[in-house]
Chains A and B, each alone.
Chain A
């Protein structure tokens, strides 16, 4: 088991290197020039040249790349161009609000969608199934913006059920502020997830062991809960990992409308300001999360599915 883990960890190194290389090519070599923005409306040509030198833009590219690799290893990405803040601190500050919003949203979404997914797979092809497709697609099509504007106006302002916007790092106030964004987030993502899980579950219902279970006289609901659900865990877990980057970035609109100081808003601000150090750091950080998530899924597979072994 330990050897297996170490080997898996070593296996991620080429991927991390690849991510670093691509991110570097995209944002250090072909991206734009942020110096004009940094110096503001009164900039002079001389100041711009000085700033470029100060930022090391005139160094050879391979040196800049080595510098970037060092930043990744030490998790010290320097300072933001736009705000002059320490980037690692920005990420650490942003991660708790992000997770406060996204983990419950993620949990409820998954719970609700898996349940509905099971149900519609069970009623496959019948009117319930068809109707769910329509509802899911409707949920997917209505832009998140519409959900936000309407619920903020009615639920928060008119009916006063939630605070309008804001954030407080203390418990339990924190939950009060993220409740409405969580609700919206669930409404927006349930549609997509139900569609996905329905397919995943259907693929399992065709398998031999399900037939065996039925043949053994197990009732349909029990078959679904005991066997199908357990075996669908693999695609479900995979989907969850795939959604990790969305977890953090997908919430930027919710963050900006509800004033939650999370990573999504930080990233979008960086994009709008061509704040390349922050964009690069965020890309790498997300990739690391994703790679880590993949690693965890692999390990979970071996626990859930006895057919996969610690090779």
Chain B
């Protein structure tokens, strides 16, 4: 069996099935909208004026103007703009931390599974150790080292969330390395690198996609928790910071900042969940 053809058919098959799932498509659309909003905010095209005063302090939501649609905060700033700005933070945290953790998890898992023996022992030891230490402690330590802020958060989340992918990859590489098509490639003189990248990887790559959607969602939620602990973003609004603010505001009846940030998070997490399910259903041959 030719690996390349099998890979192509798996992907096109999956794509066909995904297109049929209306809900999954809607969810994909939602994620695109969030990404677009994040991108536009990044380049200052929308919500650049989140820091400007648009009304009195703690003005409840009113629908006559766009900027007060979600009310105002303690300094009379638009909660709506802050939510959009928070989207930028959430999406970039999800993206950058995934860019850090996916290669690590992929590489370590592949190496461990493919080479086995002492390489496997060492890598398994390493990730068992890392996963034994409570993630929150590692996050705290990394923010202590790098100072607080976005960079620390990227690294902290990136460095702590690769273990799951590494575990899955290791398992799959162990399974695949003794399959006929790999053994055949070896006898044809394929190098280790070529066997890892050209032969096995296309057959396990769907795990990366599934993992990515989980990872992204995890990062968004972790940002909220970290900011809530005062370890996250500094000097600009994020969903976590807004929810943290709510701790001081809810008692006086100011609920809109909490509601704004929560619902923004709700929809994107929901979209990732449903899309993740659909991806799994489409890509993972185990549950057909």
**A91 in the interface, Cβ–Cβ < 8 Å?**
no
**B115 in the interface, Cβ–Cβ < 8 Å?**
no
Known A133-B274, A202-B287; contact A141-B137, beta-carbon cutoff 8 A: no
Contact A30 B288 (CB under 8 A): no
**B243 in the interface, Cβ–Cβ < 8 Å?**
yes
CA distance A18 to B130 in the complex (A): 8
Give the chain A neighbours of B126 by CB distance below 8 A.
18
Contact A141 B132 (CB under 8 A): no
CA distance A23 to B138 in the complex (A): 9
**A87 in the interface, Cβ–Cβ < 8 Å?**
no
A-B residue pair count with CB separations less than 8 angstroms:
106
**A217 in the interface, Cβ–Cβ < 8 Å?**
no
Q: Which residues between 1 and 52 of chain A lie within 8 Å of chain B, taking CB atoms?
A: 14-15, 18-19, 22-23, 26-27, 30-32
CA distance A30 to B265 in the complex (A): 34
Give the chain B neighbours of A15 by CB distance below 8 A.
125, 128-129, 132
**B193 in the interface, Cβ–Cβ < 8 Å?**
no
**B141 in the interface, Cβ–Cβ < 8 Å?**
yes
CA distance A142 to B251 in the complex (A): 17
CA distance A14 to B221 in the complex (A): 32
Known A32-B144, A145-B243, A205-B287; contact A282-B125, beta-carbon cutoff 8 A: no
**B117 in the interface, Cβ–Cβ < 8 Å?**
no
Give the chain B neighbours of A287 by CB distance below 8 A.
132-134
Chain B interface: which size bin? 35 or more
- Which of A18, A140, A205, A286 is in CB contact (< 8 Å) with B137? A286
Contact A130 B262 (CB under 8 A): no
Contact A286 B133 (CB under 8 A): yes
Known A140-B269, A143-B243, A145-B246; contact A18-B288, beta-carbon cutoff 8 A: no
Known A137-B266, A271-B140; contact A291-B125, beta-carbon cutoff 8 A: no
Q: Which residues between 231 and 251 of chain A lie within 8 Å of chain B, taking CB atoms?
A: 245, 249
**Could you tell me the distance in whole angstroms from the C-beta of A65 to the nearest C-beta in chain B?**
15
**A215 in the interface, Cβ–Cβ < 8 Å?**
no
Give the chain A neighbours of B269 by CB distance below 8 A.
137, 140-141
CA distance A32 to B144 in the complex (A): 7
One digit per residue, 1 when the CB lies within 8 angstroms of any chain B CB and 0 when it does not, for chain A 244-281 equals 01000100000000000000000010010000000100
**A195 in the interface, Cβ–Cβ < 8 Å?**
yes
Give the chain B neighbours of A141 by CB distance below 8 A.
262-263, 265-266, 269-270
Chain A interface: which size bin? 35 or more
- Which of A138, A203, A206, A290 is in CB contact (< 8 Å) with B132? A290
Contact B286 A143 (CB under 8 A): no
**Could you tell me the distance in whole angstroms from the C-beta of B125 to the nearest C-beta in chain A?**
5
**Could you tell me the distance in whole angstroms from the C-beta of B222 to the nearest C-beta in chain A?**
13
CA distance A202 to B288 in the complex (A): 9
Contact B129 A19 (CB under 8 A): yes
Contact A26 B141 (CB under 8 A): yes
Contact A31 B141 (CB under 8 A): yes
Contact B287 A249 (CB under 8 A): no
Chain B minimum-CB-distance residue to A30: B145
Contact B251 A249 (CB under 8 A): no
Give the chain B neighbours of A268 by CB distance below 8 A.
229
**B136 in the interface, Cβ–Cβ < 8 Å?**
yes
**B273 in the interface, Cβ–Cβ < 8 Å?**
yes
Known A27-B141, A199-B280, A203-B286; contact A19-B273, beta-carbon cutoff 8 A: no
Contact A203 B287 (CB under 8 A): yes
Contact B132 A19 (CB under 8 A): yes
CA distance A282 to B138 in the complex (A): 12
Contact B287 A149 (CB under 8 A): no
Contact A283 B277 (CB under 8 A): no
**B135 in the interface, Cβ–Cβ < 8 Å?**
yes
Contact A206 B286 (CB under 8 A): yes
**A146 in the interface, Cβ–Cβ < 8 Å?**
yes
Give the chain B neighbours of A290 by CB distance below 8 A.
131-132, 134
Q: List 21 A-B contacts (CB under 8 A).
A: A15-B132, A18-B129, A19-B133, A26-B138, A26-B141, A26-B144, A30-B145, A31-B141, A31-B145, A133-B270, A133-B273, A137-B266, A138-B266, A140-B269, A145-B247, A146-B262, A149-B251, A203-B287, A206-B286, A286-B134, A291-B132
Nearest first, the 10 closest Cβ-Cβ pairs linking A and B are: A18-B129, A26-B141, A141-B266, A245-B134, A287-B132, A137-B270, A283-B137, A206-B287, A286-B134, A30-B145
| Extra pairs beyond A142-B266, A271-B140, A282-B137 (6, CB < 8 Å) | A22-B133, A26-B141, A27-B141, A206-B286, A206-B287, A286-B133
